[in-house]
Amino acid sequence: MTTPSQGPDFSRQPSEDRRSRSLLTRKWAYLLADVAVVPLQPAELDEQLGALLNTLCDSLLSEPFADRGAEQVGQRLVTVGYVTEAGLRCTLDTLGKGLLGMGYPADRVVQALSALSAGFVAASRESVFAQQEAMQVSLLKAVRDARWRIQSSENRFGEVTEALSSGIMIINMDYTVARANAAVADILGQTTGELIGAPLRDLVHPDSASELRKDLDQLRNGDIQRVQRPLRLVRQDNTVLVIALTARMLRDAENKPAEFVMVIEDSTELMLLQGELNRQALHDVLTGLPNRQFFTTQLETALRRADAKYGITVLHLDLDAFGLVSNGLGRQAGEQLLVHVSRQLSAVLSGERVMIARFEADEFGILVENSAETPEVTALIGAINRELAEPFFVDNHGVALPVSIGVVHRPARDSDANEVLRAADRSLRRAKSGRRGQWGIHHQGTDLAERENHRLAVSMAGAWEDGEITVRYRPVMTLGAEPVMAGVEAVFDWDGRTHEECVALAEDTGLMLQLGESLLRVSGGQAQWWRQRVGFTLPLFLALTHFQAVDADLVSRIIRACKHTRVAAEQLVFGFPASSLTNSDAADNLDTIADMGAHILLDDFGLGPDDLALADTLPISWVRIAHRLVDSRATFLPGLVDSLAATDARVIVDGVATEEQAEFWHKTGASFVTGSLRGPTQDPSDLVNLL
């Protein structure tokens, strides 16, 4: 037995040792090949293992003992092939016995094989890591390749389908759009981006939906191979389009339904015509500007894409009293003026990212997508006003039209475009209501009657001040055989012009808000006086116009008037035109007024689709059937009145002038009338006799 400090006690003949090593190598190779996968010819394996054994023996003899050589043998063993734990066991077993048999000292053999094992494990770990790494990379590549294949197949689909004039849609099994080509987008008036993911039912007209669904179910079940049918689709703008549909089912590798392919065609002249109409439908022919519809869709997009920091600004611009120019100087002059205005606006705003549209006759919409350089809103409006205040000469008449502008500045990104437009419109109306027709125009008389009307409109304020316009009263009467007065409605009178004519003029000039408040003050005072004189307690009716109904100051005006006249709110009945109540401001006003204790009349009832629903949901005490329906003998009327009765509202019919009308409405179930038959409009002094 030797000790490490003494060094190896090893003295053999070199030739004998070589032979022993060669035998051991062959044994090692033979056994290893049986448990490991080695990509070497037997002779090559012998050669490699022989070299390893020599290295190992050299390290056994080194003084002092060096681990390094034996460790390297273990590392290189890993590279011979897939030498797993079985290969290591076989190696240790074979070499341990062999080396001891060759006379190497046991402690050195143990040391060397330990180092060999350590080197093997380290290299084996590295090898496995490297292989795993290679697999991860392969996996990622496989995924990327697969995605590339999908992409390139989509690209091919794209190239082929985009070139086609027919619309091609791929529909998922959940009936949403997977793909659509440009032709589909054109046909439906949407972008392909908007179409992808859209439910099919949103594109198909409800009348066609159930039949289409039946057809697709049959395709899915394999009952039929192909569907060919005309189909009604609904475009983005809600117009209906009839197309020819061909649909097939695509199945996957396992023959399960995968997706529907739909070809939609409209190659008829109608389709071409429709395209032209669409273009025309989006632009104003006179000024060449986009129209309101186009503006609205652009607004929708701009809201979403706007720079969050600066947002957008929407201006709703109205040429004050443009109608007067048009009527006073002729239509052609009016048109020239509109073209002029559109050019001036473009010039003023040329530095901005902006869309200018012509809405209606004399109204323009401006959409500014703000940036860091965009001036303040006030500066922008100032610039517009200055530019348009410059007189423009039409037929030698210098015309300068001031404008009213409604502004919505930086609406929330998720706002609805229509809501933004409504807000701009409301803001415009408010701006206008504060004015009295400002315009400068040089007349050279053409149509006297028209001009007379315009003259009247501007002189209304003065007429009220001068007492030319007075307040009169018309009774609200019951419809029975012995008519009884049930209330009194305050109305205007201006040299024999009816209340309706006066209101129309005042509404035109934005004067109605002030005039309406005056009407309430005068009639409220009158009612108080009657109360003291003859114990008058009947309701006092005040019909509001549209602008009054939506007026943000309506409630405060009423409170002021009540305070001033001391009339009790409970005695007042405010008539809201049914059509105004789709506006949320009007509905808010109505609720507040009802809360104050005043009663609500749903006025001008029966002309709108939602009127009955309004009567049912709002706190309404009275309903007045529109004047225009008084001669209607429509068969639905009795049912309508019945439905109203069910809401506990009392029903008035307006404008009843003959016994025949009264009889008809009495039969339908209405209880009250206003109109010349039962009670003509009267001065307060005459009416007091009836009370």
* CB of residue 194 to other proteins, shortest distance in Å: 22
Closest distance between other proteins and the C-beta of residue 172, in Å? 14
Question: Closest CB to other proteins among 144 and 304?
Answer: 144
| Distance in Å from the first CA to the final CA of the chain | 143
Gyration radius of the chain over CA positions:
47
From 18, 19, 89, 141, residue interacting with other proteins (rule: CB under 8 A): 141
Work out how close the CB of 75 gets to other proteins at its nearest, in angstroms, rounded to a whole number: 16
CB 475 within 8 A of CB 654: no
> Residues touching other proteins: how many (CB under 8 A)?
35
Q: Which of 18, 68, 101, 131 binds other proteins (CB under 8 A)?
A: 131
d(CA 165, CA 331): 43
* Contact criterion met (CB below 8 Å) for 345 and 329: no
In sequence order, what E strands does 370-484 have? 392-394, 397-399, 403-409, 469-478
> Between 401 and 440, how does the x/- string for binding to other proteins read (CB under 8 A)?
----------------------------------------
145 in contact with other proteins (CB under 8 A): yes
Confirm or reject binding of residue 250 to other proteins (CB under 8 A): no
Looking at residue 539, the DSSP 8-state letter turns out to be: P
User: CA-to-CA distance for 670 and 650, rounded, in angstroms?
Assistant: 8
Q: Which of 51, 128, 534, 634 binds other proteins (CB under 8 A)?
A: 128
- Each residue 46-85 as x (binds other proteins by CB under 8 A) or -, in order, gives -----------------------------------xxxx-
Phi, psi of 227 (to 5 degrees): -115, 130
Q: Which listed residue (134, 163, 240, 613) binds other proteins by CB under 8 A? A: 134
Give the range of 144-152, 623-631, 638-646, 648-656 binding other proteins by CB under 8 A: 144-152
Choose which of 4, 42, 462, 619 interacts with other proteins (CB under 8 A). 42
Binding to other proteins (CB under 8 A) within 18-37 occurs at 29-34, 36-37
Contact between 138 and other proteins per CB under 8 A:
yes
Interaction residues for other proteins, span 84-123 (CB under 8 A): 84, 87
* CB of 37 or CB of 163, closer to other proteins: 37
Handedness of CA 413, 419, 420, 421 (dihedral sign): positive
Distance CA 362, CA 405 (A): 12
Least separation in angstroms between residue 150's CB and other proteins is 8
Among positions 127, 344, 621, 647, the unique one binding other proteins when judged by CB under 8 A: 127
Can you tell me which of 23, 100, 137, 634 binds other proteins, judged by CB under 8 A?
137
- Does residue 670 contact residue 625 with C-beta atoms inside 8 Å? yes
148 is a contact residue toward other proteins (CB under 8 A):
no
Read off the DSSP letter of residue 164: -
Which residue in 369, 383, 264 sits closest to 310, CA to CA? 369
CA dihedral of residues 288, 294, 296, 298 (deg, nearest 10): -100
Residue 317 forms beta bridges with which residues? 364, 405
Decide if residue 143 touches other proteins (CB under 8 A): yes
Instruction: Extract the tokens encoding 307.
Output: 């720079």
The CA–CA distances, whole Å, from 385 to 364, 403, 405 equal 14, 7, 9
Tell me which residues touch other proteins (CB under 8 A): 29-34, 36-39, 41-42, 81-84, 87, 127-132, 134-135, 137-139, 141-143, 145-147, 150
